[in-house]
Amino acid sequence: MTVAVIMSALVLLILIGTPIGIALAMLAVGTMWWAVGPDLLPVLIQRFYVGTTSFPLLAIPFFIVAGNLMNTGGMTDRIFRTALVFVGRVRGGLGHVNVVGSMLFSGMSGSAVADAAGLGLIEVKAMKDAGYSPRYAAAITAVSSTIGPIVPPSIPFVIYGSIANVSVGALFLAGIMPGLLMGLAMMTVIALTARSKNLPRLENRPGLRESTMTILTALPALVMPLFIVGGLLLGIVTPTEAAVLAAGYAIIVGVFFYRELKISDLPEIFWVSGQQTVQVLFIMAAAAPFSWVLVQQQVPNAVVDAMLGITEQPWAILIMINLILLILGMFIEGIAVMIICMPMLLPVALQLGVDPVHFGVIVVLNLMIGLITPPVGLCLYTVAQVAQVDLVEIIKEIWPYLIALAVVLLLITFLPGLVMWVPALFGF
């Protein structure tokens, strides 16, 4: 009964337009007052504070800053040109370039929206100029941006690691294979549909000399993931320190090597990054007391019992969890879904014997698919604005890619070795 009341109230508040952070805070206070009276309300104030003071969460603003610096400092454009050298020669080549460019950019920003807004602007323009339809260019850009939070680094992995008390480094490594599978699945769809859609070929192919110079020029941008992932693997830096290193490196490369980032640009970049950070951390601050109230009211136990009451088959329960996350991701922002659901769904996964690192990848991939599903697909709206294309036109184009991503989701759900073998190689 408590579960139904709390979740119904949350859905109602969201439907009437209440910001998710405020809705969570109101429910936390209201539920505690209704359940035990005002005596424990001071505890909620402490939980608000604790929700944003975890050390790993310090990585979030720095990864956001790093992504914004890359978009301003010339690194994004060079990543796109490098991808063009490798996969731009076949029919539909710029579609493949879009995917590979997103995979490279993912190793630096950790944000799907940063990918869609920054690299997406370059990708959509190049595809339009090459003869691709605007809606096709926008659809590929939106879909490929979902790779961002799967390939390390990843802001959602940082948040999940903080919630589930799991090594962020292990989560980063666990995202490598699923990220590659996502890219391969998207490129397979592009290859299979290239002839039927009569996608253009790249006419002015770069020669060997030009290709070599493009790659050499992009090297300072391309080695950035080595500082992040390499530093983590060698134990030199924590994920938070790696984020600081990424932001500092982006400033150095943008200002002194590419010379497209000016010192005068930094205040605006920091201000925008601060606004983006506050939006994330406000939700986390409000979600902390909400999660505590759920635990105090034994809601996770009720959810576990309810699921096991329907079936005790692990595969069926995992499919149920995937469906719950996919449906919620269609209506609620991904980070909010993660924060709301993990106190309830993580105990279910642990009882099934699912490794929490493996489960984290399943959760984040579900939420990334939610970024490109209507009605509340944040990447859809971002790309529609960047590409100046009607949202409905993009939605019509993305269905084959949603099916491909669903196949990848099933593979990583039921073949945990695809996720866990890389972390295992490094002792996690």
Task: Report yes or no on 367 lying in a domain.
Answer: yes
Q: Answer whether residue 301 shows pLDDT above 70.
A: no
pLDDT of residue 358: 94
- 25-68 pLDDT, tens digit per residue, is 777 777 777 766 666 667 767 777 766 676 667 777 887 787 77
d(CA 403, CA 406): 5
Task: Report yes or no on 312 lying in a domain.
Answer: yes
How does residue 99 score in pLDDT terms, banded at 50, 70 and 90?
confident
Task: Report yes or no on 38 lying in a domain.
Answer: no
- Across the range 141-149, mean pLDDT stands at 83
Task: Report yes or no on 41 lying in a domain.
Answer: no
pLDDT of residue 36: 65
How does residue 408 score in pLDDT terms, banded at 50, 70 and 90?
very high
CB environment 43-77: b (16+ within 10 A), e (fewer): ebeebbeebbebebbbbbbbbbbbbbbbbbbbbbb
296: containing domain:
55-425
Number of domains in the chain: 1
CB environment 179-191: b (16+ within 10 A), e (fewer): bbbbbebbbebbe
**Worst-scoring range by mean pLDDT, 124-133, 151-160, 244-253?**
124-133
Task: Report yes or no on 10 lying in a domain.
Answer: no
pLDDT of residue 108: 52
- Across the range 246-251, mean pLDDT stands at 85
**Worst-scoring range by mean pLDDT, 89-103, 195-209, 329-343?**
195-209
d(CA 74, CA 303): 48
- 185-198 pLDDT, tens digit per residue, is 998 998 888 777 77
- 106-127 pLDDT, tens digit per residue, is 655 555 555 555 566 677 777 7
pLDDT of residue 300: 60
pLDDT of residue 363: 92
pLDDT of residue 120: 65
Residue in the structure block whose two tokens are 């939106």 = 142
Q: Answer whether residue 104 shows pLDDT above 80.
A: no
Task: Report yes or no on 15 lying in a domain.
Answer: no
Higher pLDDT, 49 or 236: 236
Do residues 331 and 389 touch, judged by C-beta distance below 8 A?
no
**Worst-scoring range by mean pLDDT, 183-192, 332-341, 398-407?**
332-341
Which run of H or E residues covers position 75? Answer: helix 75-87
d(CA 358, CA 365): 11
Q: Answer whether residue 250 shows pLDDT above 60.
A: yes
Task: Report yes or no on 7 lying in a domain.
Answer: no
Q: Answer whether residue 425 shows pLDDT above 70.
A: yes
- 376-385 pLDDT, tens digit per residue, is 666 777 677 7
- Average pLDDT over all residues of the chain: 78
- Across the range 240-257, mean pLDDT stands at 84
How does residue 356 score in pLDDT terms, banded at 50, 70 and 90?
very high
- 195-226 pLDDT, tens digit per residue, is 777 777 666 666 677 778 877 887 887 777 77
pTM of the model: 0.77
Task: Report yes or no on 26 lying in a domain.
Answer: no
Report percent pLDDT > 70 for the chain: 80
pLDDT of residue 121: 66
- Across the range 269-273, mean pLDDT stands at 85
| 17: phi then psi, degrees, rounded to nearest 5 | 95, 15
pLDDT of residue 410: 94
pLDDT of residue 116: 59
Distances (CA, A) of 22 to 285, 290, 292, 329: 10, 11, 16, 19
- Across the range 125-149, mean pLDDT stands at 81
For residue 427, is it left (φ>0), alpha (ψ between -120 and 50) or beta? left
pLDDT of residue 254: 84
